[in-house]
Amino acid sequence: MQDTIVVRPRQLPTASKRLVCLGFCGGGAGSYLAWVDVMPPGAELAAVCYPGREGRFAEDCARDWDELAEDAVAAVLSATDLPYVLFGHSMGGWMAFDVAARIEEQGGPAPESLVISSANAPSRGLTVQDMFPAQHNSDDELMDWMKTFGLMPEHVLGDPDLSEIALELMRADIRVRDSFHHRTGATVSAPLQVLTGAADEVIDPRTAQQWRKLATGRFRHDVLPGGHFYTPEVWQSLPSRIAALDAGSLTG
């Protein structure tokens, strides 16, 4: 497990479980690191850094979905020295599902639970509803989107060079997302928890039924306050909404 690929902001030698997070479109490992202060006792936070950003800045960005998925599989497998919960938000939700399915197909250590946040079922395929931001959006529109959803730290906003890099990474992620394809027959046997925002207009009203068909094990769907990134308060404490990180499950 390389620190530049699987980022662990607070390493816990006594941890009994690890939450492994996969990034959303335009986000990075840093998008999740603030959760370190709200993790339950005994659970360690880890975030996968995709190529082309943060500690992997010198690497080329993935060219398409399959290339990024293969990279993410290798990253997640490197972090399976502990029982783990796999989490993904938005585009990261599709990636988390695909990674979990690929790991199962390869006979690798499956997650104890798969948690999908603010993502429609991949079996729908890529729809216009899911394609936001879009390739045709201007730089100003993409910047506004990132500012709105809190993806732009103050030190980036104040630096034209860093802002340009952030835009390049967003466009690279959009290209990868737009090459997404659901692999026919892909399912997961790990318990699946789906989280959606009550006011998220992106989410299909039938999402629970659609996701349920992709899970052969236990399934639950939780509706949380807010939109695609919930409310700020919910986002900041999201690990507390993950059933597999319940204090009882960490000691049982």
Q: Which residue has the tokens 């603030």?
A: 34
pTM for this predicted structure: 0.94
Residue 252's pLDDT is what? 34
Q: Which of 243, 183, 185, 251 is nearest to 219 (CA)?
A: 243
Mean pLDDT, range 133-147, rounded to an integer = 90
For 222, residues 6+ apart whose C-beta sits below 8 A from its C-beta are 193, 194, 195, 196, 241
Residue 248's pLDDT is what? 54
Q: Where are the alpha helices (DSSP H) in 126-178?
A: 139-148, 154-157, 160-177
19, 136, 156, 203 from 93: Cα distances, Å: 14, 23, 26, 13
Where b means 16+ CB within 10 Å and e means fewer, 67-84 reads: ebbebbbebbeebbebbb
Instruction: Give 7-12 contacts, CB < 8 A, sequence gap 24+.
Output: 7/33, 7/46, 7/47, 7/48, 7/49, 7/54, 7/55, 8/44, 8/45, 8/46, 9/33, 9/36, 9/45, 10/36, 10/44, 10/45, 11/44, 12/42, 12/43, 12/44
Which range has the worst mean pLDDT, 77-86, 226-235, 240-249?
A: 240-249
Please give the structure tokens belonging to residue 113: 């639970």
Q: Which of 169, 156, 180 is nearest to 65 (CA)?
A: 180
Q: Which residue has the tokens 């783990």?
A: 84
Taking all residues of the chain, what is their mean pLDDT, rounded to a whole number? Answer: 93
Residue 150's pLDDT is what? 66
% helix, strand, coil for the chain, step of 5: 40, 15, 45
Q: Which of 209, 185, 183, 187 is nearest to 196 (CA)?
A: 209
Q: Which of 119, 89, 122, 117 is nearest to 188 (CA)?
A: 122
Per-residue pLDDT tens digits for 181-199: 999 999 999 999 999 999 9
